[in-house]
């Protein structure tokens, strides 16, 4: 089935790079894209994998797809467990700690707990949720292409090895698949109005925080971050207004 193709591809690439001991080679090659194409581009791409940004981007699901909004709750928990649970266990040094000044770093230079990539996990958790939840090839492309670019950007900005992003993509996609499975079996509870309003309110808060006080490691992406927050808030407001106008007796 096609839903298993992304994690299978990630696993095969992981095995190939690990078996050939080419992790450093591919890092140096991909990291060179930064100077060649510009730091601004990759700062704006990589910020899409930030947790708050990714959550804000899910706000349009509210009042449109209660099933996917409920699945998102499971996906967030499972994705965090994958990324945050493995980091201290693996405790892999980041490229800047191993290669020093040879690394082209965009933003903050992290030194420890590289494996797996949290941004890649987030991108493929949300991307997998959208791709598998909406199902059409159009949505698959719309979800997988940005997720892949976000994952790749973590190497370009100099904070992760290729193995880190492949592990993040693998775990993130499986988190999304498991979340959809759990959501389908508990939708009676998850579709209750108070649950949906609680989840929607949390996403509204995430989008609102992006508009002003939130600072990522990439100040060059501040305008994009704020634009995403504002656009998602306006989308939610428009949907609420439409639903209100459709209420009987109004």
**CA 167/CA 149 separation, integer angstroms:** 15
Q: What is the mean pLDDT of residues 53-69?
A: 95
DSSP summary character for residue 192: S
Q: What pLDDT, on a 0 to 100 scale, did the predictor assign at position 250?
A: 46
What is the sign, positive or negative, of the torsion defined by CA atoms of 72, 77, 82, 88? positive
Nearest to 74 by CA among 60, 88, 89, 58: 58
Contact 115, 80 (CB under 8 A): no
Q: Which long-range contacts (CB under 8 A, 24 or more apart) does 15-20 make?
A: 17/162, 17/163, 17/166, 18/163
Q: Which pTM was predicted?
A: 0.94
Query: For residue range 182-238, what is the model confidence (pLDDT) as tens digits?
Result: 999 999 999 999 999 999 999 999 999 999 888 899 999 999 999 999 999 999 998
Query: For residue range 122-181, what is the model confidence (pLDDT) as tens digits?
Result: 999 999 999 999 988 899 999 999 999 999 999 999 999 999 999 999 999 999 999 999
């Amino acid at each position: 089935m096609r839903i298993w193709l992304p994690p299978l591809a990630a696993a095969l690439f992981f095995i190939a790079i690990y078996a050939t001991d080419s992790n450093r080679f591919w890092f140096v090659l991909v990291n060179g894209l930064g100077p060649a194409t510009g730091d601004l581009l990759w700062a704006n791409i990589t910020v899409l994998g930030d947790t708050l940004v990714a959550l804000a981007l899910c706000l349009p699901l509210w009042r449109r797809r209660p099933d996917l909004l409920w699945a998102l709750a499971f996906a967030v928990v499972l994705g965090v467990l994958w990324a945050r649970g493995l980091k201290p266990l693996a405790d892999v040094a980041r490229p800047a700690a191993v290669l020093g000044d040879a690394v082209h770093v965009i933003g903050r230079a992290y030194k420890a707990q590289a494996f797996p990539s949290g941004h890649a996990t987030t991108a493929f958790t949300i991307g997998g949720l959208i791709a598998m939840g909406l199902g059409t090839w159009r949505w698959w492309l719309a979800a997988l292409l940005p997720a892949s670019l976000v994952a790749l950007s973590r190497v370009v900005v100099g904070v992760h090895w290729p193995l880190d992003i492949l592990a993040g993509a693998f775990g993130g996609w499986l988190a999304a698949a498991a979340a959809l499975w759990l959501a389908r079996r508990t939708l009676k509870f998850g579709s209750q109005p108070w649950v949906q309003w609680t989840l929607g309110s949390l996403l509204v808060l995430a989008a609102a925080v992006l508009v002003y006080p939130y600072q990522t490691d990439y100040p060059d992406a501040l305008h994009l971050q704020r634009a995403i927050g504002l656009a998602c808030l306006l989308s939610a407001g428009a949907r609420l207004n439409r639903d209100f106008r459709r209420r009987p007796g109004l």
